Amino acid sequence: MDKLIVSLDVDDFFQAARLIDILSPKVNIFKVGIAPYVNFGEQLLDKLRSLDKQVFLDLKFHDIPNTVKNAAKAAAQKGVFMMNFHCLGGSRMLEAAVAGVHEANISPMPLLIGVTILTSMGIEDMKDIGLSGAIHDRIISLANIAKKSGLNGVVASAKEAKIIKDQVGQDFVVVTPGIRPAWSVAGKEDQKRVLTPKQAVTEGADYIVVGRPIVKAEDPLAAATKIIAELESNN
Across 71-202, the runs of DSSP E, i.e. the strands, are 82-86, 111-115, 153-155, 173-176
Across 9-151, the runs of DSSP E, i.e. the strands, are 29-33, 54-61, 82-86, 111-115
Residue 38 burial by Cβ neighbours in a 10 Å radius (0-12, 13-18, 19+): exposed
66 Cβ neighbours under 8 A, 6+ residues apart: 96
Q: What is the CA radius of gyration of the chain?
A: 17
Q: Which of 148, 171, 142 is nearest to 157 (CA)?
A: 142
Give the pairing type, strands 54-61 and 82-86.
parallel
Q: Which secondary-structure segment (H or E) carries 204?
A: none
Catalytic residue among 60, 78, 162, 192: 60
Q: Does the annotation count 60 as an active-site position?
A: yes
Among all residues, which ones are annotated catalytic?
60
